[in-house]
């Protein structure tokens, strides 16, 4: 599926870029990342994984808002990230980080599958992802 198909299906919609929404999403991404770091320190690996995913979600959402898009389904964010990779604006590793985080969050939340190792990996990925999304926004 591509961006136009997502728009036609209602998974994405066009909006006017709004700096206040972009800033709000970045603040949420930072909040969730800090919450994830606290969770891993408390050995709450499930919550760490969930919060890392949402940190990446909000960071990516800021990028969508900056290009005039708003998602209605989480997978639509993957579609936009994939488009940015195809256009050479984003390295593929960040799409991989987001996709893995989405899967790990679903495993933690719905299948009760999580571990310290995954939590540690996803925290590092989320830190890198947030920095890269901020750079993409400049």
Work out the average pLDDT over 68-93: 97
pTM equals: 0.95
- Note the Cα 67 to chain centre separation in Å: 16
Work out the average pLDDT over 37-56: 97
Upper half-sphere CA count for residue 128 (Cβ side, 13 Å): 16
- Note the Cα 117 to chain centre separation in Å: 20
**Which burial class, exposed, middle or buried, applies to 66 when counting CB atoms under 10 A from its CB (0-12, 13-18, 19+)?**
middle
Domain regions of the chain by residue span:
16-137
CB 55 within 8 A of CB 117: no
- Would you call 112 helix, strand, or coil by DSSP? coil
Architecture of the domain spanning 16-137: Up-down Bundle (1.20)
Work out the average pLDDT over 29-52: 98
pLDDT tens sequence across 82-121:
999 999 999 999 999 999 999 999 999 999 999 999 999 9
Give the pLDDT band (50/70/90) at residue 18.
confident
The token pair that represents 126 in the structure block: 């989320």
DSSP β-bridge partners for residue 70: 13
């Amino acid at each position: 599926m591509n961006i136009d198909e997502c728009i036609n299906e209602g998974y994405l919609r066009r909006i006017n870029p709004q700096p206040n929404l972009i800033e709000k999403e970045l603040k949420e991404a930072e909040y969730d990342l800090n919450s994830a770091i606290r969770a891993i320190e408390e050995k709450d690996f499930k919550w760490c994984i969930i919060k890392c995913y949402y940190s990446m979600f909000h960071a990516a959402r800021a990028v969508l808002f900056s290009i005039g898009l708003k998602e209605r389904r989480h997978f639509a964010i993957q579609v936009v990230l994939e488009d940015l990779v195809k256009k050479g604006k984003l390295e593929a590793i960040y799409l991989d980080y987001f996709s893995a985080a989405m899967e790990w969050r679903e495993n933690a939340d719905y299948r009760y599958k999580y571990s310290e190792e995954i939590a540690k990996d996803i925290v590092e990925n989320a830190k890198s992802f947030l920095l890269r999304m901020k750079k993409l926004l400049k």
